[in-house]
Amino acid sequence: MAADNSNTTERLVAAATQLISLLFTTAREQPIRLFFLFVFPLTLFGIISIYLLLHLLAPKPRPPYPSEKTYLTTLPSGAISHPRPLPCWYDRWHAEGCLKEQYPTVPDGFDVPDQASIEPAEVEVSVVVPAYNEQDRIEVALEEMVEYLDANFGRGQEGGSGRLLPTLERPKPGAGTPGSRPSTPHRLVFKCENALGGGRGQSPPRERPPRGYEIIVVDDGSEDRTVEVVLEFGRRRGLHDVLRVVSLEKNRGKGGSVTHGLRHVRGKYAVFADADGASRFSDLGRLIEGCEDVVDGSNRGVAIGSRAHLVGSEAVVKRSAIRNFLMRSFHFVLMILTPPATSRIRDTQCGFKLFSRAALPHIVPYMHAEGWIFDIEMLMLAESAPATPVLASDGSVIGTSYGIKVAEVPVGWEEVGGSKMSLVKDSVRMAVGLAVLRASWMLGVYRRRLT
């Protein structure tokens, strides 16, 4: 019996050796034939298999439920409002895009808006705050936001009662604390308010620029008293129809919450900030200036807060060795898997990013990632945005600029306890999610298209 097994093994080894020898001889004598018989079919099979696997694994955002397109706010009486319709630039943009696809050739007398257009801003700044079980941390962050926004932008739009809220006196240029926004932009790059739309079908220029601000808290299916805490804060600070709370019926993740909020902003600038208040919100002025520095001829620009300058500081040194190792490992993977401009960004994960209104239609409608990796998809979409004309000082076109430029701006930051991120598990998920995200865009599973 043992002799039979030994003979069988010897025959298998001999057969394998002959096969390898045959392949080696064929590759040496007829390399093209071997390529078409083995290498090319196997490569094609592998690509097709990966493509089909990505269709199964790649995240696909769910459409919003009807209740998620409403918001709650406080009333001057102190009561909580009934659900109100949430303004949504995305719905109009999507409808206009479908109209353009339906009528690619515009008939005489009909004006089909440009797909890159977006309706004019109603307030100067919109702040989106994603929140999941943040009852213990969000009030401190909101207090810092409201204090800065009241002092630098005021509440200049109509409140829920229909009356104009008073605009607080702004500091004189150069006054205030470091990072505070001056009374006027330091560069007159936003040449025309109407240019923020970027296309045909726009309303005539506004009589005055938008004023005031709004804060949209997107509650991501919290199981604690986050909504009650936010509304009570709004009632106490008199933020009637300025602080708006949107509740998602089912948890979508931080990326899904931010994307949902950005679809409903009314501001000339749209910024999202984490609910833990780790980033110093008074550095918003620096983000605005960074955005103004990089905007293109269509007023598209992005500015992101960065903690890269803190590397080596006490805040980072005190972190555990495993956390610092995972951070460096993720940055290495990021450098390999992302496009050139995105790979050069030193801090992609800081939860403090600002977009000009004209940049939103090139980024927000095409978002897929709903977890921790969503920041990187935003930056990749900005880098791959369609070209726009480069304008001279007299308004004439002198060239073309590809993509939306991103300014990386150092901001103040400190560690805040209560993070919901699992160090090892979520780091692995982010690495896998980044690989799936990059492959999905490269192989055409994700595309810039209306869905």
Q: How far is 375 from 359, CA to CA, in rounded Å? A: 15
Which 8-state DSSP code applies to residue 372?
Answer: T
49 and 134 co-located in one domain = no
304 and 324 co-located in one domain = yes
71 and 50 co-located in one domain = no
What distance lies between CA 426 and its chain's CA centroid?
A: 19
For residue 283, being part of any structural domain is answered with yes
Segment 268-282 shows an average pLDDT of 93
Token readout for 124 is 């100067």
Q: How far is 173 from 365, CA to CA, in rounded Å? A: 37
For residue 203, being part of any structural domain is answered with no
First-to-final CA distance of the chain: 66
Q: How far is 352 from 305, CA to CA, in rounded Å? A: 5
34 and 70 co-located in one domain = no
259 and 292 co-located in one domain = yes
146 and 51 co-located in one domain = no
34 and 91 co-located in one domain = no
276 and 335 co-located in one domain = yes
For residue 420, being part of any structural domain is answered with yes
52 and 85 co-located in one domain = no
pLDDT for the residue numbered 103: 67
Phi and psi based region of residue 277 (left: phi greater than 0; alpha: psi -120 to 50; beta: remaining): left
Least trusted range by pLDDT, from 199-213, 347-361, 368-382 = 199-213
DSSP helix, strand, coil percent of the chain (3-state; round to 5): 45, 15, 45
Q: How far is 262 from 72, CA to CA, in rounded Å? A: 17
For residue 188, being part of any structural domain is answered with no
CA distances from 295 to 138, 173, 183, 218, 389 (A): 32, 22, 19, 28, 12
Token readout for 263 is 């679809």
In this prediction the pTM is: 0.79
267 and 382 co-located in one domain = yes
- Which of 292, 262, 279 is closest to 367 using CA atoms? 262
Which 8-state DSSP code applies to residue 106?
Answer: P
* CA atoms lying within 13 Å on the CB side of residue 13: 6
Q: What is the CATH number of the domain that holds 288?
A: 3.90.550.10
234 and 136 co-located in one domain = yes
C-beta separation of 312 from 298 below 8 A? no
For residue 289, being part of any structural domain is answered with yes
- pLDDT by residue (tens digit) across 74-121? 999 989 999 999 999 999 888 887 777 776 665 555 544 455 678 899
For residue 237, being part of any structural domain is answered with yes
Least trusted range by pLDDT, from 132-141, 207-216, 310-319 = 310-319
Token readout for 282 is 């008074």
Sign (positive or negative) of CA dihedral 249, 137, 353, 281: positive
For residue 4, being part of any structural domain is answered with no
- Which of 149, 175, 198, 162 is closest to 300 using CA atoms? 198
91 and 43 co-located in one domain = no
For residue 49, being part of any structural domain is answered with yes
Token readout for 128 is 């989106």
Total domains in the chain come to: 2
- pLDDT > 70 fraction of the chain, expressed in percent and rounded: 76
What residues make up the domain containing 74? 66-104+112-155+211-443
- Which of 223, 210, 248 is closest to 72 using CA atoms? 248
Strand pairing partners for 304? 353, 408
- pLDDT by residue (tens digit) across 370-391? 988 899 999 999 999 988 887 7
